[in-house]
Structure 1
Amino acid sequence: MSTSSSIRTAGPTPDAPLTLTEPPPRTLGLRDALGLWGNLGISLLLPVAAVFVVLPGRPLSETLGAIVLGSFIGAVLLGLAAAAGARESVPGMVLLRGLLGRRTSYAPTVLNLVQCVGWATFEIVIIAEAASRALDAPRWPFVLAAGILATAMALRPLGVVRVLARYAVWAALAAVVYLYVQVLAEPLPPLEGGGATSFWTATDIVIALPVSWFPLAADYTRHVRSGRAAFIGSSVGYGLATVVMFTLGVLALAAYGSAGLDVVDALLAVPLGVIAVLVLITVELDEAFANVYSTAISAQNLVARLDRRLLAVGVGTAATLLALSFDIAAYEPFLFLIGAVFVPLVGVLLVAYWSTPRGQWDTSDRAPARLLLLLPWIAGFLAYQLTLPTYFTGPGQSWTAWWTARQADLGIDPGNGWSASLVSLALATALTALIVLPGRRRRRLSRVSA
């Protein structure tokens, strides 16, 4: 895979290439990156997930502290991955060729395809559910409308990014500011209900949201002109939005959720909240579009000449059909599982990439396999599950039971309250450093002695 500098052409601004064999235009600047990632962060999924970060019976400041810390950690990880994508000018899954080799990169690619379809489905569900409640109408027409619009947006991705960065983000900010004003005008009693069992489990949920974009980040930042702009745009844009939206969800629960309402109902209880929620529902389409588009781009790492437009239509159709029968109760374990898979991979990639001299990161079709680097990734995943097993009910509960039994075998307290994300990340980065840094040092010494 070759890189390219900014492409300047006469006539209309070029859009994303149709296949992986074509060089990407680099037409996005810092403002575009900030607007895109800020808009992606202004999502109804974050306040909906706020119930999982609430520390019941604890001061509100502790929950807000977990939100700020988790947002900072996740945003920095996202920004570093985004900067690498801009420097190499390749999509996310192609970037992993330099880490694992071309064929070995197929493993995270398949996992990313699964998570992207899942996220696209979640987004369509949230859009349809919120619209259905706001307008007191059946859900299925909104599922179809959201799926069709998100798929159509994925056909012209760079054009959509520019619209989001220059216009949509301001409408979203206006709606969020209005909701904040209304929510903060109400009394905020202590929250007695919530899904977090400790400060660090709450932090893990927040970290999972920015990290879930890690495999997708380079799909967009390959079009950004510099690594610095990509880092600032993604980390600042998404990080601030994560703090704002999670906090909004927590405050709305405190102000309006005392009667057992969930976050969407709480926001609808705000005076004229229906209008603000409808604005956020419209803006929410960008998250669904991004996941549909990135699924198509990830698939091109498997077959480079596939047309992303055909792939996007197929993915959008699949996500829409899934959304018609999707159970939103699976949301929390899905977030934890994403963290378990991708948090350690972030650590492995960042240590390996940022310790590699510029120009030596091989993302070509001939990138050799580096199977040894699978070990820290796997070790990080195991550490995550042993710290906090992903909790499933129903058919998936055997997964939880197996990992809980392994905790007992190793004497790990199931209620340890540790951050599974930080334990996983620390182990993966340390093992990766032990693998890659000695080799870098030997090569430097050999060049000096020669």
Structure 2
Amino acid sequence: MSMLGADRATASSTDAPITLSEPPPRTLDLRDTTGLWGNLGVSLLLPVAATYVVLADRPLSVTIGAIVVGAVVGSVLLGLGAAAGAREGVPAMVLMRGLLGRRTSYLPTALNLLQCVGWAAFEVFIIAEAASRVLGAPRWPFVVAAGVLATLMALRPLRAVRVLARYAVWAALAAIVYLFVEVLSEPLRPVAEGGAASFWTAADIVIALPVSWFPLAADYTRHVRGGRTAFAGAAVGYGAATVALFTLGVLALAAYGRAGLDVMDALLAVPFGLIAVLVLLVVEVDEAFANVYSTAVSAQNVVPRLDRRVLAVVVGVVATGIALSVDLIAYEPFLFLIGAVFVPLVGVFVVAYWLLPRGAWDVSETAPARPLLLMAWAAGFVAYQLTLPTFFTGPGAGWTAWWAARQAELGIDPASGWSASLVSLGVAAGLTALLSSPGAVRARRAAVR
């Protein structure tokens, strides 16, 4: 065996496979899986974004109820994707071969590459921006440090997962509990202003968070020992973290009357708040790591023999460069638009994989195309935009205006209060069930004859 071959065999036996042709080691248990997804759910973006889920002039319990409902719906969907990855033992974009066919799976793969690189850069940017504000130092050294750390973690992902699950999760939990105690020691005032128009629009924002991880879930749970373990770990870990961080932001808004990035300043002002926030900032590097690693693994769906370590280094350098040079706040709506593309794909996948009768899930290089499911996916995306167009300003404002005009033509009230995620999921799932029904299949076969 050559030195390179020996190196690959050793790496594969102790960590994630180097190429797509190698089987994944099944080494992650329930503690590892729950800890990983709990860590991925811990993000300082959630308390900052909590203002968008607040229902003005309503009891805080109603807002928290919307957070819980959104977290449950989104996390169950995430868990189903995680369980499928554990059952099939393949990365998320390879899993899409069974849904759309090998070559057709390149479409979600391309979108996922854009999404993962963008979010990796955005996470590095946010970590550095927050650290810069907290410590009163220039931002660029923190960009470089976060980018390097995320890339190093992506080189040995299973080792990183174990560290996150067994150590980092407890540090994050301690910091969150401490901040909750400090916030709840203050009187909670009624919130007169909020970003959510209805209960379901508030829940919609929360649903989007766990669903956004659906195209990445199997990259990690292919290493989990069973589907039930993968489902429970992903759904409980990410769901609990989502509820905790959004609720912390809502309570901080009620306690201090400060929203957005000002919430960070309020949390920093509490005793030992600096330490708690710094702990959460360090833990947040795991999200950048996950996006770097998943970019590399997603690319292997197209080029299965490329070394994921080389891909991870390239992605890490690109993401760090973007974080240093691009206005990522202006880029954020494009990331949300890509996320909206994946919401209906979740509906199509869940119905096709879990609810419809089927044989083996074909993830081979000869997996046949299923073009009708592209129609269900596209219809779900259209339904999402007609319910709640992705909001752009500046050069992208024409997108929002075009969909708003379509809403007006169809008599759709933009203030209806519907959840765009649930509408999109329902349309995509319903069409998938209809197009895949035995009657529809027989009709297509008869037409071919």
Q: TM-score range by the shorter chain?
A: over 0.9
Which residue of structure 2 aligns with residue 382 of structure 1? 382
Residue 253 of structure 1: CA displacement?
2.0
Residue identity opposite 1:262 in structure 2: D
Please name the residue that 1:281 is paired with: 281
Whether the 8 Å contact between 1:208 and 1:336 is mirrored in structure 2 is no
1:139 and 2:139 correspond: yes
- 1:219-271: CA deviations, max 9, x gaps? 00000010000000000110111000111111122222448862222221222
**1:114-149, Cα deviation, whole Å (9 max, x unpaired):** 111121112112211111111111111111110111
Query: How far did residue 42 of structure 1 move?
Result: 1.4
- Counterpart of 2:419? 419
Worse-matched range after superposition: 347-356 or 331-340: 331-340
Aligned to 1:346: 346
Q: CA deviation at 1:404?
A: 0.3
Q: Who is 1:48 aligned against? A: 48
2:28 is the counterpart of 1:28: yes
Whether the aligned pair in 2 keeps the contact of 1:55 and 1:62 (CA below 8 Å) is yes
Q: Distance in 2 between matches of 1:246 and 1:13?
A: 39
Residue of structure 1 equivalent to 2:176:
176
**Match of residue 153 from structure 1:** 153
**Cα deviation 1:262-299 (Å, max 9, x = unaligned):** 22222212221100000001111111100000000001
**Is 1:201 aligned to 2:196, yes or no?**
no
Q: 1:82–1:221: 8 Å Cα contact kept in structure 2?
A: yes
**Structure 2 partner of 1:63:** 63
CA distance 1:335–1:305, shift in 2 (3 Å)? closer
Task: Render the CA deviation track for 1:313-366: whole Å, top value 9, x for unaligned.
Answer: 111111111112444544773564244211110010011011355761000000
Tell me if structure 2 keeps the 8 A contact 1:112–1:215.
yes
Q: Which amino acid aligns with 1:78?
A: L
2:49–2:260: 8 Å Cα contact kept in structure 1?
no
Return the offset for 1:59. Answer: 2.3
* More off after superposition, 70-79 vs 314-323: 314-323
Amino acid at match of 1:279: V
Question: Which residue number in structure 2 is paired with residue 101 of structure 1?
Answer: 101
Q: Which blocks of at least 5 consecutive residues in structure 1 are unaligned?
A: 1-8, 443-450
- Conservation of the 8 A alpha-carbon contact between 2:48 and 2:260: no
1:435 Cα deviation from its structure 2 partner:
1.5
Is contact 2:258-2:266 (8 Å) kept? Answer: no
Matched, 1:114 2:109: no
Task: Give SS of 1:385's match.
Answer: helix
Q: Which position in structure 1 is the counterpart of 2:369? A: 369
Q: Look up the match of 2:222.
A: 222
The secondary structure found in structure 1 opposite 2:350 is helix
Q: Which residue of 2 aligns with 1:87?
A: 87
AA partner of residue 382 (structure 2)? L
> Hey, what does 1:266 align to over in structure 2?
266
How far apart, CA to CA, are the structure 2 residues paired with 1:360 and 1:223? 20
Specify the SS of the correspondent of 1:17.
Answer: coil
Structure 2 residue 65 is the aligned partner of structure 1 residue 72: no
- Contact 1:182 1:270 (8 Å CA) reproduced: yes
- The separation in 1 between residues aligned to 2:441 and 2:134, in whole angstroms, is 60
- Alignment-derived partner of residue 445 in structure 2: none
Q: 1:117 to 1:10 in 2, by over 3 A?
A: closer
CA distance, structure 1, for counterparts of residue 356 and residue 305 of structure 2: 29
Distance change >3 Å, CA 438–CA 148, structure 1 → 2:
same
Residue range with higher mean Cα deviation, 41-50 or 271-280: 41-50
Q: 1:83 to 1:74 in 2, by over 3 A?
A: same
**Residue in 2 aligned with 1:6?**
none
Q: Segments of 4+ in structure 1 off by > 3 A?
A: 9-13, 257-261, 325-336, 355-359, 439-442
CA distance in 1, matches of 2:50, 2:144: 27
> What is the DSSP-based 3-state SS (H/G/I as helix, E as strand, rest coil) of the residue aligned with 1:415?
coil
2:236 is matched with which residue?
A: 236
Q: In structure 2, what is the Cα distance between the partners aligned to 1:144 and 1:261?
A: 22
1:23-61, Cα deviation, whole Å (9 max, x unpaired): 111111111111111111112122222122122333222
Task: Give the structure 2 partner of residue 431 of structure 1.
Answer: 431
CA contact (8 A) 1:155 1:312 kept: yes
Residue 200 to residue 378, structure 1, CA distance change in 2 (3 Å): same
1:259-338 matches, cutoff 5 A: 262-327=262-327, 329-330=329-330, 333-334=333-334, 336-338=336-338
Q: Distance in 1 between matches of 2:399 and 2:231?
A: 36
CA distance in 2, matches of 1:358, 1:122: 39
Identity over aligned pairs, percent:
76
Using a 3 Å threshold, how does the CA distance of structure 1 residues 89 and 380 change in structure 2: closer, same or farther?
Answer: same
Report the CA distance shift for 1:381/1:259 in structure 2 as closer, same or farther (over 3 A).
closer
CA contact (8 A) 1:385 1:420 kept: yes
RMSD: 2.1
**Does the CA-based 8 Å contact 1:208-1:335 persist in structure 2?**
no
- Assess if the C-alpha contact under 8 Å between 2:252 and 2:258 holds in 1: no
Query: How far is 1:164 from its partner?
Result: 0.7
Change (3 A) 1:413 1:355: closer
Higher mean Cα deviation, 108-117 or 334-343? 334-343
Once the 2 structures are TM-superposed, how far is the Cα of residue 191 of structure 1 from its aligned partner?
2.2
Tell me how far apart the structure 2 counterparts of residues 19 and 389 of structure 1 sit (CA, whole Å). Answer: 39
Q: Quote the Cα distance in structure 2 between the aligned partners of 1:70 and 1:432.
A: 23
Secondary structure of the corresponding residue to residue 96 of structure 1:
helix
Residues 376-425 of structure 1, C-alpha deviations (whole Å, 9 max, x = no match): 10000000000111111111100000000001111111211111111111
Of residues 92-101 and 411-420 in structure 1, the stretch that sits farther from structure 2 once superposed is: 411-420
- Pair 356,333 (structure 1): closer, same or farther in 2 beyond 3 Å: same
Equivalents in 2 of 1:331, 1:181: separation in Å? 35
Report the TM-score, using the length of structure 2 for normalisation. 0.92
Deviation larger for 186-195 or 433-442 = 433-442
The answer for the alignment partner of 1:189 in structure 2 is: 189
Contact 2:33 2:165 in 1 (8 A): yes
Query: Can you give the 5+ residue segments of structure 2 that lack an aligned partner in the other structure?
Result: 1-8, 443-449
Distance 1:268 1:212 in 2: 29
Are the equivalent residues in 2 in contact too, given 1:55–1:195 (CA < 8 A)? yes
| 1:262 to 1:329, Cα distance in 2 relative to 1, 3 A | farther
- Is the Cα contact below 8 Å between 1:253 and 1:262 reproduced in 2? no
